[in-house]
Structure 1
Amino acid sequence: MVSTKYLATGCSFRTLAHYFKRGDKTIGKVIAETTEAIWNCLQPQFLPVPDNEMWKDVAERYQELWKIPNYIGSIDGKHIRVKKFANTGSRNFNYKGYFSVQLLACADADGCFITIDVGDLGRNSDGGVFHSSRLGRWLQSGGLDLPTLKPLPNDEDEIAIPYFFCADGVFPLKSYIMRPYPKSTLTNKKRIFNYRLSIARKSVECAFGMLTSKFRVFETPIHCSEQTVISIIKCACVLHNFIRTREGKMYTIRNMHAVQNIQLHHQVENVNHNVRTATGIREYISDYFMKPGIPSQWEHTVQNE
């Protein structure tokens, strides 16, 4: 009760101490121990290490909901506001002007967390956090058991493309991570690619939003030791997945007439891309999106060139 009330309301230890008739230090110890216990109990079932079949299920769900093929998750970081930790100087002071620790997360199409990495310094960028995270190291070493290359649906060329994550512009462009084109170089084809990528990328933003709305502890600075803060964040993430899976309302399939493949009047250049490079893969996917497009994407993205 103590920990769930703290997570749900974010009230101070002193308020909880008055409510439960316990000392402040006792409340702090209870929260530290129970949040760690909840994580250890729920993590194997609700935030397991992904395997090959799980990645395929995530990709199928993205294709079903948003018509984005070979897509296995959205990656982004979130600053969790904290009170300054003792004897840490400015290492957790971020560019937004407050102290924080980083939550790097990958989410699926329904806003559930697939992987999380918690505790990096608030002063570090999302890209730097990704490079030093377990997710980044596993992807670099090929240790995440990702599915093998697969042609995109209804692609006449039948060129095998890697499964990939998407992220915003601060993350690196890799064969397994697609990021938007820079605004300074946009053409209609690139605008459409960015638009389609933003549709997929919103799942991790929605996951962060739902996490904060459920657990009000993230609306104010958390005043705990660094290890307890990490336990609180991990506990909240796995509880988010538990609630989302057991009682949450999953996204429904969009109106099917709006996502069926249609014949477009825009001519796509027949260009051979080197799909062994990250840049070539992004160009190939951009051309693919020009063929079976969602009708609404044209009115929202295309400009006269």
Structure 2
Amino acid sequence: MWNIPNCVGAIDGKHVAIKCPAKSSSMYYNYKKFFSIVLMAVCDAKYTFTAVSIGSYGSQSDGGIFQLSSFGQNLMQNTLPLPPPARISMESPQPLPHFFVGDAAFPLRTNLMRPYPGFNLPRTKRIFNYRLSRARRVIENSFGILTARWRILRTTIECDPKNCEKKVLAYIVLHNFIILNDHNRWYCPENYVDRQEPGNIVHRGEWRREINSESSLPRIRTTIRRASTNAFNIRDRLADYFINEGALPYQDDIDLSIGGPYI
């Protein structure tokens, strides 16, 4: 659906604002200067959440939030029940592993792709970054829909962290239930998410106008670790695929010189 083969989901993390817990000192006080617990989540192309980890301290090292979650540990140890490697096209004889996509905050792994770093990148790397970011944006849309529809997430939740974790999980379960049964598209209309129309016309999702992105579920930051040679090779093979048999007709029309409108 988002033109990136072997991708099984997009991952991101956000802070959920809570009142200062009693006798918590600064454990929940984050770099944005408010008290929070962290929601780490994965979603699929239909904006349903497929894995979540809720409750890390807002003050924790951002790298530690991902690496200490059960999902993060299984991903880093390559023990997640992912499908076996598969060919991404008829032109590619060697299969590639299935993977998640994340932004530059996440480490590059054989099962987790992140953008190429730096500026003034060659065309192949710029297009890879655009294609990856376009696929990764589904998690931004999922968080946006969740926050716009369950508006308590736009405020400071007035309860202790354990009850807050249960509430956030309940909102996610309800979100998934509605998304999967919303046949009339009233919960998530076609124009509610970021989209791209023929002629390279880019539209920002309506959820962005309903929430204040700076105060609703602000993103986490993660410490990067050195990737393996195999992970670099997989990213290079995907980048080569995106400019050859996997090219999209409009990808060269995007102004990628300064990053481009990554949707």
Same fold (TM over 0.5): yes
Q: Are positions 1:294 and 2:248 aligned together? A: yes
Q: Are positions 1:243 and 2:178 aligned together? A: yes
Superposed CA deviations along residues 135-161 of structure 1, whole A, max 9, x for unmatched, are 11222334321111111123x231110
Residue 220 of structure 2 corresponds to which residue in structure 1?
none
Residue 112 of structure 2 corresponds to which residue in structure 1?
177
Q: Equivalences for 1:51-66 in 2 at 5 Å?
A: 65-66=1-2
Following the alignment from structure 1 to structure 2, what is the Cα–Cα distance between the partners of residues 103 and 254?
Answer: 28
Contact kept, 8 Å, 1:73 with 1:165, in 2: the verdict is yes
Following the alignment from structure 2 to structure 1, what is the Cα–Cα distance between the partners of residues 119 and 105?
Answer: 15
TM-score normalised per structure 2: 0.78
Residues 207 and 302 from structure 1, CA distance in 2 versus in 1: closer, same or farther, beyond 3 angstroms? closer
| SS of aligned partner of 2:247 | coil
Contact kept, 8 Å, 2:76 with 2:109, in 1: the verdict is no
Contact kept, 8 Å, 1:127 with 1:172, in 2: the verdict is no
Q: Equivalences for 1:18-167 in 2 at 5 Å?
A: 65-154=1-90, 156-167=91-102
Following the alignment from structure 2 to structure 1, what is the Cα–Cα distance between the partners of residues 95 and 123?
Answer: 25
Contact kept, 8 Å, 2:3 with 2:135, in 1: the verdict is no
Residues 157 and 213 from structure 1, CA distance in 2 versus in 1: closer, same or farther, beyond 3 angstroms? closer
TM-score normalised per structure 1: 0.68
1:257: how far off? Answer: 10
Following the alignment from structure 1 to structure 2, what is the Cα–Cα distance between the partners of residues 185 and 72?
Answer: 29
Following the alignment from structure 1 to structure 2, what is the Cα–Cα distance between the partners of residues 133 and 185?
Answer: 35
Contiguous gaps of at least 5 residues in structure 1: 1-64, 259-274
Following the alignment from structure 2 to structure 1, what is the Cα–Cα distance between the partners of residues 99 and 235?
Answer: 10
Following the alignment from structure 1 to structure 2, what is the Cα–Cα distance between the partners of residues 254 and 103?
Answer: 28
Contiguous gaps of at least 5 residues in structure 2: 201-227, 258-263
Contact kept, 8 Å, 2:18 with 2:37, in 1: the verdict is yes
Residue 283 of structure 1 corresponds to which residue in structure 2?
236
1:255: how far off? Answer: 7.1
| SS of aligned partner of 1:171 | coil
Equivalent residue letter for 2:64: G
Contact kept, 8 Å, 2:6 with 2:86, in 1: the verdict is yes
Structure with more contact order per residue of length (Cα contacts < 8 Å, sep ≥ 6)? 2
Superposed CA deviations along residues 143-184 of structure 1, whole A, max 9, x for unmatched, are 321111111123x23111000101111111100000011133
Following the alignment from structure 2 to structure 1, what is the Cα–Cα distance between the partners of residues 39 and 6?
Answer: 25
1:125: how far off? Answer: 4.7
Residue 103 of structure 2 corresponds to which residue in structure 1?
168
Between structures 1 and 2, the one with greater helix share: 1
1:126: how far off? Answer: 4.3
Percent identical among aligned pairs is 38
| SS of aligned partner of 1:242 | helix
Superposed CA deviations along residues 242-275 of structure 1, whole A, max 9, x for unmatched, are 11111263788987999xxxxxxxxxxxxxxxx9
Superposed CA deviations along residues 5-63 of structure 1, whole A, max 9, x for unmatched, are xxxxxxxxxxxxxxxxxxxxxxxxxxxxxxxxxxxxxxxxxxxxxxxxxxxxxxxxxxx
Displaced runs of 4 or more, over 6 A: 250-258
Contact kept, 8 Å, 1:126 with 1:171, in 2: the verdict is no
Task: Identify the range of structure 1 (106-115 vs 180-189) with the bigger mean alpha-carbon deviation.
Answer: 180-189
State which structure, 1 or 2, has the greater radius of gyration over its C-alpha atoms: 1
